[in-house]
Amino acid sequence: MNKILVLFPLLFLALSSTAQTSDNIVNKTSEYKKLDFSSVFVGEKFYSDNRTEKYNRVEPIGYFGSNYQRVFVHFISVIQDQENPLVYFVYGKTKLKDNISVFQGKIIIKEVIEYKRHEFPEFNRGEINGEYVFFEDTKNNGSGKFQGEFTSSWLINQDNKVEYDGMMLAADGFSNNQFEGVWISYNSGKEYICNWGDYRIPNSGNLDNGAGEFFPSKEYLNRGWQTYIDQYGDPSEVKTKRARELEKANWW
């Protein structure tokens, strides 16, 4: 697919860095609360483990409802609240089938965790955990709100700036910005599960049939996932070219 196959030792490192034990984490919420973590959510490029080349950020992958309908989520801006630095104002758009909706809301950091030991000691690395609530425009038919919890990985570089943590990008199972929650209809109050994330989707059940990376199950391809698969086909084929165009389109 789109990432290089890696050997077992690297897989082990990935697992050790994404599943930290309680004796390897320290709460830094008070110390780091004034740092600006917005680049973790909207930064355009990031460094991986080679530390010499920056990679382009990918768009999140996500699903809506129990039938795993594909949903697109794009943050246009994320701005730190100067009065309460653990709160971030978010503006973005979602796309479900052909319906594009604007939303505004907040990301609220509840905890900033730092790893005591990890594979790249030249950086401080860790996670932020918290809650989010995004409100769609009430004037639109079929609108509602998104709410839930998230976990995102960060690092502090040599310039003391916060960046998206992509150090383990080449490893199996890499993920970041994991958003897990529901969408609630304004009209009916009915809830639908809606999860998304970078490279993997949290709590994706039968949808994700991949081992090293996300791979949608064949039974759900007609739920918006066909072009995701087709983009990795023969580059000379029309179907592949078309799929790549659609996957890279700036729909927002």
- What pTM was computed for the model? 0.89
d(CA 171, CA 196): 20
If you count them, how many residues does the chain have? 252
Amino acid identity at 34: K
**Which positions ≥6 away from 128 have C-beta within 8 Å?**
37, 40, 109, 111, 112, 113, 151, 152, 154
The answer, yes or no, to whether residue 17 has pLDDT greater than 70, is no
Instruction: Show the domain range for 216.
Output: 24-248
Tokens of residue 141, six digits: 């038919």
The answer, yes or no, to whether residue 225 has pLDDT greater than 90, is yes
d(CA 151, CA 240): 33
Give the DSSP letter of residue 212: S
* pLDDT confidence of residue 220: 98
Residue 12 belongs to a domain: no
Amino acid identity at 75: F
Residue 4 belongs to a domain: no
Percent of the chain with pLDDT over 70: 92
Domains in the chain: how many in total?
1
Identify the residue whose tokens are 């490279």: 199
Residue 164 belongs to a domain: yes
Residue 133 belongs to a domain: yes
The alpha carbons of the chain give a radius of gyration, in whole angstroms, of 18
E strand residue ranges, the chain: 25-27, 45-47, 54-56, 61-64, 69-80, 87-96, 99-115, 124-136, 144-156, 162-164, 176-185, 191-198
The Cβ of residue 249 has, within 10 Å, a number of other Cβ atoms equal to 10
Residue 207 belongs to a domain: yes
Residue 71 belongs to a domain: yes
Residue 202 belongs to a domain: yes
Of 171 and 91, the one with more pLDDT: 91
Mean pLDDT value across residues 89-112:
97
Residue 13 belongs to a domain: no
pLDDT tens across 32-71, in order?
A: 999 999 999 998 888 887 777 788 889 999 999 999 999 9
Q: Which of 10-14, 119-123, 160-164 has the lowest mean pLDDT?
A: 10-14
Q: How confident is the model at residue 19 (pLDDT cuts 50, 70, 90)?
A: low
